[in-house]
Every structure is written in structure tokens, then in C-alpha cells.
Structure 1
């Protein structure tokens, strides 16, 4: 009798709460979520999104499938009324900043994994435990530089990162000292160049692709990454697409010259197919 009253009362057991959360999360209506959001401050929601992003990155480092029940229990907790909004914002951050997509691999048991959308980069000098996160940040910066004409002022790069909630003046929970990571670590590893702009007073600096980035990825790969993030066709950026295609054609021509000197076009077509 008492047990039945407890199940209907305001204080459910942990098992009952988890079961309720499991059923609750996917059935939230837009109006329910909006009402719950109105009871929270933007800072509270942003903090919970950051916690979820960090939690998912840690799980991904260990390649452990992520259960929705664990997300609700360990991260969402009392914020389950805005679960769908938090998971949506966290997914957007993972995609925009880290190049990762949250994918449900088991709809019945609600199990997720993170899948990388990043272009190929070796990042051999990055520690394995934070490789994914730093690779995502590096790819975002390389993408920004390419889309801006292959160079951008330092101030423009910082402003772009701030819009993605990565402030170079504030220690980041995943990246640590962002400014040091970008201007020292990435530069030392030759992924970026960081040079003073001539005749500027006070001194201004700009970023460009470094020699290692040029060797390990291509402009077409980066353009496809940007297009996937924005859900567009790469040809939507005609200037960048022309430049990236010209680079690919040059690489394909080199492949043809080295491997099939007697071919009049077949090898170039084959090389292009392999690249695409």
C-alpha cells in the first residue's frame, strides 16, 4: 500500500525516475519545451549544453556507445524538460566546432555514437586523448581561412570562434588556452602560419594555411566539409569551388605524369574519380 503511494507521490524512486525520463524525452512537444525554456536563464541552458558536449567528447575518446539513459542521468538531470533543446544545441556545437555528428545507431534502446565529418588530417603531434577536439577546431579555422581567400586577420579568426562559443580570452573546458593552442601549438606543428601584416601600427597579424595542412588535406575536402555543415552544394561557392577544382586537377595531372606518361586522359579521369 505504502509502496503504491510512493509510486504516485512526488518522490519517485531512482529506477522509476529513469524510466519516466526515458519515456518523457522523445515525446516533448515544441510548446512544452518552450514553456520549460522560459523558466530557465540562457546561461543555465548554455552551461548544460557545454556539459553535454564535454560528456559526449569524453565518451567518444573511449569509443563507448552513448546511451540516452546515461545522458539523462549524468548530464540532463533536472533539465529533462528541455532535453530536446539541449541535445539539439549540443549536436549543432559538435558539428560546427568539432566536425562530429551525433548518430543514433539503435533507435529501440536509444544508443548513440559520434561520427567524424572531418577531412583527413594526420595530426600526428596531437595527444590521442584530445585529438578529435583539436582536429575539429583546426579544421574550422582552416575552413574559415579558405573561405576568406586563404588568409584572415587574427581579429577576424577570434571573432569567428567567439560566435561558436570558443573565446580566445577565456580558458575553454575542452581546449584549455585557446589563444596559445592556435598561435603556438598549431603554428609550431605547421598547420597554420601566423605572420605580422606589413606596415600596421599597432601591429596586426594574420593566419594562413601552414605547410603541413597543405600536405595533409585539400581545399576541395575543406570545401565539402563546409558544404556539409551548411547543407549546401560545394558549387554554391563558385570562387572557392573553381580554386579547389584547379588544385585537384593539378594533383591529378601530377599523378598522370608520374604513373602513366603514355596515357592521353584516362589516368587523369581515374585519378579524379579516386579523389572525388
Structure 2
């Protein structure tokens, strides 16, 4: 009987050790993927854990929960589940509001484009038509009129990274492509940061823009 108890205890300890290994491997995998800003498919995580740690399907939720705790504590990240056409996906976002998007986007030009695009959408109060966005960025001196590479940063790079949402609205001749804030931007970029930048540029008080100021301060108070 005592031998059986020792055996059971050994099995439980081994199972716990395997779970710890899976959590560490899950964290490592997510941190390695974070740099691309591309959403991570749950199926990719499951496959990786099964390959490296032989993690069972019914253990994946536990591994993800514990891995998320480690991401927050050690790296200041969190996993956020996002809408996807096929399967569950996650993005890795900062847990603390940043004072800028410098830590999120390394390339200076891309950073300027992102801040300008998000600000234009925010100050416009809703989706911005594609043509209006190109006109704005051209007048701001950030994109040449026929800079297709620069435009692709917005329509592809920032869209895949979920900083921007790029979609078509309307039907037939009335159909238009529009830009909106993506889920990563909603999670990471404080609207008050953008509004303060606007205020500095135009030498105004942030509350000069009443609606935007109300939205930005409500966002701060809700966190």
C-alpha cells in the first residue's frame, strides 16, 4: 500500500514538472513571436507544445493561463484573444499604457506613419476613407503621392499587426476602403497621448477638442 502511495506521488510530481516545462516553453514561444506583432494562432501554440513537451490538449488552457501570468510579471505583456475568420488567435500587447509608440514600432518612419494615421482617424471621429488618408499623409509630408511602398505599410503591415483595420464598406459604386483603429492600437495606444501631441502641435489645450478630450479622459478613468 505504502509503495503504491509513493508511486502515485511520484507520478503527480512528474506531471507537475511536465506542466512547468510546458508553461516555460509556451512563454518562450510567445516572446519569440512577439517581435513580429503578427497574431499567433492557438493551433500553432498547441502544435508547438505537443511537439516540444507532449502537452495534452486538455492541458493547453492551464498552460496558457499560467504563461500569461508569467508574461505579465516578467515581460509586462499580456495575451489578448482577437477575432479571426479561422480559429482562435492571440496578440501580445503591453500591460501598461505607453507614453509613446516608440517601444512598439522600431522604424522611425513607420512610427511617424502610425501615429499620424491613428491621430487622423481619432480626430475624424470615425472610419477614414482611404483616399482621405492618402491625402492627409501627403499634405503632412509623410508619404509621396505615389508611394506604394509606404501605402502598403498601412494596408498590409499595420493591418496584419492589428494596429489598423482596413476594410471595405458599402456596395457597388459606393464601395469604399476605410481605415479604423485596430485591436492592438486600442489595447496599447492611449488616446490622451495622441491628443496631447495634437495640442502641442497647434499650441492649444487638449480640451479644445471637446469630444476627443471627453473620450480620452473617459478611457483614462476607466483603467
**TM-score computed with the length of structure 1 as normaliser:** 0.42
Offset from partner CA, 1:122-176 (integer Å, 9 cap, x none): 664x5x4xx12211110011001000003211111111011123445433xxxx7
Partner of 1:248: 220
Q: Secondary structure at the match of 1:121?
A: coil
Aligned partner of residue 173 in structure 2, secondary structure: coil
What runs of 5+ residues in structure 2 fail to find an aligned partner? 1-97
Contact 1:120 1:216 in 2 (8 A): no
Greater than 4 Å deviation, 4+ residue runs: none
TM-score normalised according to structure 2 size = 0.52
**Where does 1:91-240 land on structure 2 (aligned, <5 Å)?**
119-121=99-101, 124=104, 126=105, 128=106, 131-167=107-143, 169-171=145-147, 177-201=149-173, 203-240=175-212
Matched residue of 1:206: which SS? strand
Q: Which has the larger radius of gyration?
A: 1
Aligned residues: 126
Deviations 1:4-39 (A, max 9, x none): xxxxxxxxxxxxxxxxxxxxxxxxxxxxxxxxxxxx
| CA distance in structure 2 between the partners assigned to 1:238 and 1:199 by the alignment | 34
Cα distance in 1 between the residues matched to 2:137 and 2:172: 23
Gaps of 5+ in 1: 1-117, 252-276
> Given the superposition, is the C-alpha separation of residues 137 and 167 from structure 1 closer, same or farther in structure 2, using an over 3 Å criterion?
closer
Q: Output the CA distance in 2 between the equivalents of 1:159 and 1:121.
A: 23
Cα deviation for residue 226 of structure 1 reads: 1.1
RMSD: 2.1
Distance 1:123 1:195, change over 3 A: farther
